[in-house]
Amino acid sequence: MKQELDKESIKALIQYRIKRAKETLLEAEVLIENKFYNAAVNRLYYACYYSVNALLLKHRITAKTHAGIKQMFGLHFIVNGRLDPKLGHFYNQLFNDRITSDYDDFIAYDKEMIDEIFPKAKDFINQLSKIIEINDQL
């Protein structure tokens, strides 16, 4: 059984996950500049994943898998109207894109696709970061 974290540890972990989200977004930029678009999709997904993870932790919502995190995000923030459904749709699509880019054969993302995904990922992370900061009470 995992040890329960105290408030300070939770705050530190939330801050770390937001930092990882922003760093991973920068990793994606480097990959895009070098035309590694499939790898960039992976990093964009993980950047958003870290921010969702931080949001769930903030609200003491746990999940053990990527699919579980996606499900808890939808259930606790999208379905009930706490966040714009567009964010949920984007995260679901990015989840699927990451799986496709990592595991499917003969799939090649291109600059046009990445030019559509990247700003949405950046906005997604910024919106979740602001929500976490606004609700700084644990």
Range of the domain at 78: 7-134
Length of the chain in terms of residues written = 138
Whether residue 1 is contained in a domain is answered as no
pTM of the predicted protein model: 0.92
Q: What is the DSSP string of 46-112?
A: HHHHHHHHHHHHHTT---SSHHHHHHHHIIIIITTSSS-HHHHHHHHHHHHHHHHHHH-TT----HH
Give the span between the Cα atoms of 16 and 131, in whole angstroms. Answer: 16
pLDDT in tens, 87-96: 999 999 999 9
> Any residues with CB less than 8 A from the CB of 32 and at least 6 apart, and which?
40, 111, 114, 118
Whether residue 2 is contained in a domain is answered as no
Task: Decide if pLDDT at 22 tops 80.
Answer: yes
At residue 1, the pLDDT reads 34
CB count in 10 Å sphere of residue 60: 10
At residue 137, the pLDDT reads 54
How many structural domains comprise the chain? 1
pLDDT in tens, 88-132: 999 999 999 999 999 988 989 999 999 999 999 999 999 999 999
Residue with tokens 């499900």: 71
At residue 125, the pLDDT reads 97
Question: What CATH number did the domain enclosing 104 receive?
Answer: 1.20.120.330
pLDDT in tens, 31-47: 999 999 999 999 999 99
